[in-house]
Amino acid sequence: MKIASKKLTTLLSVSAIAFSSSAVMAQDLSITVTNLTQGLHFTPIVTSAHSSDNHIFMSGTTATAELQAMAEGGDISGLVSLLSNIDANTNENPAAGLLAPGLSTTFTLTNDSTNTHLSLAAMILPSNDGFVGLDSWKIPTEAGTYTINLNAYDAGTEANNELVNGGAAPGVLGIPAAPGGDAGTNGTGVTDTESNTTIHIHRGNLGDEMADGGKSDLNSSIHRWLNPVAKLTITVQ
C-alpha cells in the first residue's frame, strides 16, 4: 500500500508540473485596432500569431493569391486557411464587418509559446488593392502594453485606377465600393498600369473634386491619406 501510494503521489506531482508548465506556455494578448483615417474603412481584419519563419505578406515580394483576394476584395478566407495549416493562433473579423473611420475594435488572442510573431491585414476601402498591415512583429515576453502604428500597403496586383465599379474579384480592375457613400461617378481612370508590382508602401489615393467625371471617382478631400492609417495596441498579460 505504501508503494502504491508513493507511485500515485509521484504521478499526481508530475501531472501538476505538466499542467503548470502548459498554463505558463499560454499567453493572452488583448488587442485593439483603431482606424486613424478620416474617410477610409477597413474590411474584415485577420490577426494571427505564428512562428518567426511564416508571413502573411512581405514588402518587396510578389503577393500570394490569398493576399491578393484580401487586398482587392476584402476576402480573408484564403489567409485564414493558410494560417490554420501552419497551426497559427488566429482571430478573424473581430469588428464583425467594416471598421469605420475613427472607430476601434478590441479582442483577445490566446497564443501558445511556439507562435512568437504577430501579423495583421485588412483591405482599405475605397482603394484598388490597398491594405493595412503588420508583418511578423515579435511578441514581447514581458507583460505590458505596447503600441504600434500601422502603414498602408499596395499589394501590387492591380492598377490604382480609382474607379468605383464593384470590381472585387481578383484580376477585375476597379474598386468594390465606397462604404461612406461619398464617391463620385464616371471617372476616366487615374492609370491603367503600375511600374511596381510587388508589395510596397501605398502612395495613397489621389482623388479629385469632381462628383461627376474627372479622372478619379474618389474625393481628394475625403479619401486621401498619409501613413500611419491605424494604431495597434497590444496588452501582454
Q: How confident is the model over 203-225, as a mean pLDDT?
A: 97
Residue that the C-alpha cell 508540473 belongs to:
17
Q: CATH top-level class for 27-236?
A: mainly beta
Q: What is the reported pLDDT for 83? A: 97
Q: What is the reported pLDDT for 112? A: 87
What is the residue-wise DSSP string for 180-203? TS---B----S-S--S--S-EE--
Query: Residue 20's pLDDT band (boundaries 50, 70, 90)?
Result: very low
Task: Round to whole Å and give the CA distance between 49 and 91.
Answer: 9
Q: What is the reported pLDDT for 25? A: 65
156 with 199: CB under 8 angstroms?
yes
Q: What is the reported pLDDT for 16? A: 38
97 with 22: CB under 8 angstroms?
no
pLDDT for 169 beyond 60: yes
Q: What is the pLDDT of residues 108-140, one digit of tens each?
A: 999 988 999 999 999 999 999 999 999 999 999
Cell of 90: 488566429
User: For all residues of the chain together, what is the average pLDDT?
Assistant: 91
Cell of 226: 498619409
Q: How confident is the model over 49-53, as a mean pLDDT?
A: 96
Helix segments in 26-128, DSSP class H:
65-73, 77-85
Question: Bigger pLDDT: 14 or 31?
Answer: 31
Cell of 42: 477597413
pTM of the predicted model as reported, rounded to 2 decimal places: 0.88
Helices and strands, number each (H, E), in the chain: 3, 10
Q: What is the reported pLDDT for 237? A: 85
State the DSSP code for 221.
T
pLDDT for 189 beyond 70: yes
The terminus-to-terminus CA distance of the chain in angstroms comes to: 44
